Amino acid sequence: MPGLLLGDEAPDFEADTTQGRIRFHDFLGDSWGILFSHPRDFTPVCTTELGRAARLAPEFSKRNVKMIALSIDSVPDHLAWSKDINAYNGEQPEETLPFPIIADKNRELAVKLGMLDPDERDKDGMPLTARVVFVFGPDKKLKLSILYPATTGRNFDEILRVVDSLQLTAYKKVATPVDWKPGDSVMVVPTLPDEEAKKLFPKGVFTKDLPSGKKYLRYTPQPE
C-alpha cells in the first residue's frame, strides 16, 4: 500500500519545484515541515488555499515549520498560477510565493505518498490529487496526516492549531483536549503518575471528580 503512516520517515525524494530542484530531507533540514497537496493548478479552491497558506507563512516560520506544496502540474504552470494566487491575495501578481510548489506532472509522488482522489478525475480520466496535509517533525517522522477530498478545502487556522498542539505535546507530557486553543489548559497524559505530575506541573494539577471514581481527567495550565 502506498502512503505514509504516523511514525514513518519522510521519503527522501528529489523533485523539481518553483524554487529549483530539491532533495526532501535537505529541504527539511532540522526544521518541522508541512507538505500539502493540491488537485490541480488554476482551480478555485486550491487558489484560495494557497493564498491563505501564503498569508500564514510568517506564522509557520515563527514555529520553525518549513512549508512545501505539491500539485500535479509543471513548474511553468505553477509559476504562472502563483501570479494568480498573489493577485487573489491583493498583492502584486508575481511568480514568487513564500514556499515552493513541487511539480508532480506524472503523479509519481502523489502515488507514492497515497495522495490520489479516485472520485475526482481530469478530462483524460486520470485521478487528481486529494488535499493531503503531512506534518513532519525535526526527526523527519510523520507526526500528523490529514486527508480531504478534492472538493473540500482545508482550514489553515486548524492546521496552525494542530502544529501548536504537536509541538507542545512533543516536548511536554501533556495532551490537548477537544477544541483546545493555545493558552487553554491541557490534560496530563494518562501514563504519568500523580506524584510526578505534581512535580512536573508546578502551576497545579486539577482533577475532575467522575461517577466512576477514576481520577483520569487531570488538567494543568499550559506549560511554558
Q: In the complex, which residues of this chain contact ligand BEZ (CB under 6 A)?
A: 39-40, 43-46, 120, 128, 150-151
Partnered with residue 102 across adjacent β-strands are: 17, 70
Comparing CB distances to ligand BEZ, the nearer of 103 and 117 is 117
* Greatest alpha-carbon span in the chain: 63
To ligand BEZ, the closest distance from the beta carbon of 83 in angstroms equals: 17
Nearest approach, Cβ of 73 to ligand BEZ (angstroms)?
12
**CA 1 – CA 215 distance, rounded (Å):** 41
CB 131 within 8 A of CB 114: no
Q: 18 or 167, CB closer to ligand BEZ?
A: 18
Q: Which residues pair with 17 in a beta bridge?
A: 20, 102
Q: Which is nearer to ligand BEZ, 40 or 161 (CB)?
A: 40
The total number of residues written for the chain in this structure? 224
Asked if 134 and 24 count as a contact pair (C-beta separation under 8 A), the reply is no
Residue 118 Cβ vs ligand BEZ, minimum distance, rounded to whole Å? 13
| Per annotation, catalytic residue among 15, 28, 46, 102 | 46
Q: Toward ligand BEZ, which CB reaches closer, 40 or 172?
A: 40
Question: Residue 99 carries which DSSP code?
Answer: S
Cα gap 66→171, rounded to integer Å:
19
Minimum separation from the CB atom of position 84 to ligand BEZ (A)? 12
In the residue annotation, 46 being an active-site residue is answered as yes
Backbone conformation region of residue 180, classed left if phi is above 0, alpha if psi is from -120 to 50, else beta: beta
Backbone angles phi, psi at 172, to 5 degrees: -125, 155
Instruction: Tell me how far apart the alpha carbons of residues 121 and 90 are, in angstroms, rounded to a whole number.
Output: 31
49 membership: H or E segment, kind and range = helix 44-62
Enter the DSSP assignment of 184: S
Residue 4 CB, shortest distance to ligand BEZ, in Å, is: 22
Q: Which residues are known catalytic residues?
A: 46
